[in-house]
Amino acid sequence: MSDRLARLLASRPFLLADGATGTNLFEAGLQTGDAPELWNIDHPEKIEALHQGMLDAGADIILTNSFGGTRHRLKLHKAQDRVAEINGAAARIARRTADAHAAATGREIIVAGSIGPTGELFEPLGPLTIADGTEAFAEQARALADNGVDVLWVETMSSKDELQAAVAGAGSAGLPVVSTLSFDTNGRTMMGVTPAEVATLCHHLQPRPLAYGANCGVGAAELVAAVVNMSAGAEDGDVIVAKANCGIPYFEGSEIRYDGTPELMADYARMALDAGARIIGGCCGTSPAHLKAMRAALDSYSPGEKPSMQDIVARLGQISTGAERQASGETAGEAEGGSRRRSRRRGSDAAE
């Protein structure tokens, strides 16, 4: 088992993870509807260039181009029988790029095998069982592990069942596991998981992840709020991951852009560290230029107090009411009940 990630975490206050894969590949010519994972075979030089750009910007961790590498996602491109080939190529490209950079600079680099959702719903909402999901994730994880990754990086999960299956499948390959969820629905995942639940949830997963946290979502402010709420349930020694989208997405013609500047992402990186994250990176929209600003910001920063929700809004932008309620310890039901009570009281006052 590779212990490189644990060893680096033990020796450093933070590690910088890389930025976006998909949105940067669109800039390199990927077309909407195409599978980024097939570029590991068809355009390996472009994947290597993306990794190199992140390393030159200061990344300590790079993720393989394998987010949609399960058989369930690859079947959309009639490549479900190429799981080993595609994921193996992704791992080899990242590994050789990282090793060459390390040899040239003396910096030790972590290669993380990216494992994203299957795109299927789990029982009882859909056809996929936890056992079948675990098997599919294990197939992908073995291909990544056999070709040189240091850790399996389960990301952008939204349901407890799929998280359980992904961590179990990844863990079967014998490497450490990192897991992150995406909080994009009023402070929750699409399937209703809150940041406050994540620590307890991950503490009971088998195997227990080496690190856990949040990625993607709806912007830097919301992700830092999620980390603040998540850290309330963390135990001593827990390692929290923050990997936010680069601001808020918007359309420019038919293209999706992100409004986060390097300056905003630098401020996000500092706030994520203060919120309790020790692995900090970017997700959709985050370019090497953004990552370079984040590296400089973290290298010159002395951590401060945990930010309040007011601090987050003032510096990074608006957050959802759900995130605010979680920070105050108020559930959605309590908030609704309080609103009804206040409404009844106003009616009573009017009657008086």
Q: Please, which residues bridge with residue 279 across strands?
A: 15, 241
Q: Is the pLDDT of residue 352 over 80?
A: no
Rounded to an integer, the average pLDDT of 106-113 is 98
Rounded to an integer, the average pLDDT of 310-315 is 97
What is the C-alpha to C-alpha distance for residues 69 and 155, in angstroms, rounded to an integer?
A: 12
pLDDT at res. 251: 85
Exposure string of 172-196, with b = 16+ CB inside 10 Å and e = fewer, is: bbebbbbbbbbbbbebbbebebbbb
Q: Is the pLDDT of residue 331 over 70?
A: no
Rounded to an integer, the average pLDDT of 240-265 is 91
Q: Is 104 exposed, middle or buried (0-12, 13-18, 19+ CB in 10 A)?
A: exposed
What is the C-alpha to C-alpha distance for residues 177 and 112, in angstroms, rounded to an integer?
A: 9
- CATH number for the region 4-319 comes to 3.20.20.330
Instruction: Quickly state the pLDDT bin for 253 (edges 50, 70, 90).
Output: confident
Percent of the chain residues past pLDDT 70, beyond the cut: 93
Place of tokens 């999960």: 157
Instruction: Quickly state the pLDDT bin for 248 (edges 50, 70, 90).
Output: confident
pTM strictly above 0.75? yes
Q: What is the mean pLDDT of the chain?
A: 92
30-34, 268-272, 287-291, 293-297: the lowest-pLDDT one: 30-34
The conformational region for residue 58 under phi > 0 = left, psi -120 to 50 = alpha, else beta, is left
Instruction: Quickly state the pLDDT bin for 247 (edges 50, 70, 90).
Output: confident
pLDDT, tens only, 125-143: 999 999 999 999 999 999 9
pLDDT at res. 254: 75
Could you give the C-alpha distances from 269 to 69, 296, 341, in angstroms and in order? 29, 10, 40
Q: Is the pLDDT of residue 237 over 70?
A: yes
How are the residues of the chain apportioned to helix, strand and coil, as percentages rounded to the nearest 5?
50, 15, 35
- Write the DSSP symbol of residue 209: P
Helix H or strand E encompassing 64? none
pLDDT at res. 256: 82
* Contact (Cβ atoms closer than 8 angstroms) between residue 222 and residue 323: yes
